[in-house]
Amino acid sequence: MTDAPPAIVDSHCHLDFPDFDGQQGEIIARARAAGVTRMVTICTKMPNVPKVQALAEAHDGLFYAVGLHPMSVADQPPVTLDELLGYAAHPKMVGIGETGLDYHYTADSKDAQQVSLRLHIEAARRTRLPLIIHARDADEDMARILTEEYRNGDYSCVMHCFSSGPDLARAALDLGFYLSMSGIAAFPRSQELRDIFAAAPLERILVETDSPYLAPPPYRGKRNEPAYVAKTAAVGAQVYGIDYADFARATTENFDRLFWKAAA
């Protein structure tokens, strides 16, 4: 009989995506075998809320968050503050987002993205649930808006799948926010990103898959799934020069502190 792997959390995945249809049970079983005790599946469009909620209700240790992804702001109906506050009443709805700014593919909707982001921040402020931020090619505006809004009233936040520059990392950390490490941090050419994580306090680090995307080695290029968060965490442990079990314990404690509704 082998020892069970250390408990760890996948703080961000997308189990409602078509990549996983009909397979969620076996995917969650594989995650548990890898030590993943809890997962947060993220809703990115309002019409998908019922499916995401049903998945969370059907599986122990599976929680969910609700938000309108910045890349969908232009082609989806806008979410309202009242809608987000209403969704937040569910016991397994544990975060606001993902929201944010993405100027890589969708810069033409940047103004609408900023309005949507500020609305999600207000929902996080009112519910005390953590804001889940997606940021790509928008570091300056992201740092500015997060800081401006924090002055209007505090809120908690995680920079999901953090792969931006050191200035945005520092701005987020200065506000007391968290950085989440995805498979990108495990890619061989991501040394600059690993250096940013190494400079951040361990007590502000989460780990995630963002599955089905961004599988870490040795699965790169294949469909990602929550079990593989252990591979990214192994790299995280190397970044901080600690044992895997200690890194798993620290990031799990961080998750419990931030995602208080999903705390063990």
- Cα of first residue to Cα of last residue in the chain, in angstroms, is 26
- Arithmetic mean of pLDDT, 226-244: 98
Instruction: Tell me: is residue 160 an annotated ligand-binding position.
Output: yes
Q: Where are the alpha helices (DSSP H) in the chain?
A: 24-33, 49-58, 81-87, 110-127, 139-151, 166-174, 191-198, 229-240, 244-258
Percent of the residues in the chain that have a pLDDT greater than 70, as a whole number: 99
- Fold held by 10-262: TIM Barrel (3.20.20)
Question: Per-domain residue ranges for the chain?
Answer: 10-262
- Arithmetic mean of pLDDT, 29-38: 98
Instruction: Give Rg (Cα) of the chain.
Output: 17
| pLDDT tens profile 52-82 | 999 999 999 999 999 999 999 999 988 999 9
- Laid out side by side, the sheet with 8-13 consists of 8-13, 36-43, 62-66, 93-102, 131-136, 157-159, 178-181, 205-207
Establish how many alpha carbons lie within 13 A of residue 130's alpha carbon, considering only the half-sphere containing its beta carbon.
29
**pLDDT value of position 3:** 84
Instruction: Tell me: is residue 14 an annotated ligand-binding position.
Output: yes
Using alpha carbons, select from 11, 8, 7, 12 the residue that is nearest to residue 212. Answer: 12
Instruction: Tell me: is residue 210 an annotated ligand-binding position.
Output: yes
> Residue 1 pLDDT > 60, yes or no?
no
CA–CA gap between residue 251 and residue 257 (Å, rounded):
10
CA–CA gap between residue 166 and residue 172 (Å, rounded):
10
**pLDDT value of position 2:** 63
Instruction: Tell me: is residue 140 an annotated ligand-binding position.
Output: no
Coil, helix or strand at residue 6: coil
Kindly indicate the confidence band of residue 156, based on its pLDDT and cuts at 50, 70 and 90. Answer: very high
| pLDDT tens profile 158-174 | 999 999 999 999 999 99
Tokens of 170: 């520092």
